[in-house]
Amino acid sequence: MSWLVIDFPQLYLNRGKNVDALKVVLKNAPLSTKNQNTKDKALQLTMRVLTSFRSAEIEKAVNTLDKLEIDMLMKYVYRGFEVPAEGSSAVLLNWHEKAYAKGGLGCIVRVLTDRKHV
């Protein structure tokens, strides 16, 4: 995993630019790798970004995302449900609700049928 993917989101989070951190992790998802360690690290980083948002900020953040970013967000939400951490399920449900509101049922279908996983 390159320093870009690891350091930029954290730099954005440190500066309170959560939306920028979110966009970086979504645009740099390791879809083409088969290395599970890389995918796990990307999930950890994405979960750190997702949990850094306050509930009131999530809808605004989702509204800044395009269709591909919404789909990638949903992939991470479902992956996060597979490996729950303390308090993460409530956060992920909130993200899921807002992403579904913007992306619709098609977003869920695309994510569940896509062969490339995060």
Which of 82, 65, 85 is closest to 117 using CA atoms? 82
Q: Which of 2, 14, 81, 8 is nearest to 43 (CA)?
A: 81
Closest CA to 46 of 12, 115, 112: 12
The model's pLDDT over 36-57, given as tens digits with 9 standing for 90+, comes to 999 999 999 999 999 999 999 9
Whether 84 shows a pLDDT value over 50: the answer reads: yes
Q: Please state whether the predicted TM-score (pTM) of the whole model is above 0.85.
A: yes
Where does the pLDDT of residue 6 fall: very low under 50, low under 70, confident under 90, or very high at 90 and above?
Answer: low
Helices 18-27 & 3-14 angle (0-180, nearest 10): 160
Q: Please tell me the predicted confidence (pLDDT) of residue 19.
A: 97
Q: Is the pLDDT of residue 9 over 50?
A: yes
Q: How far apart are CA 75 and CA 83, in angstroms?
A: 13
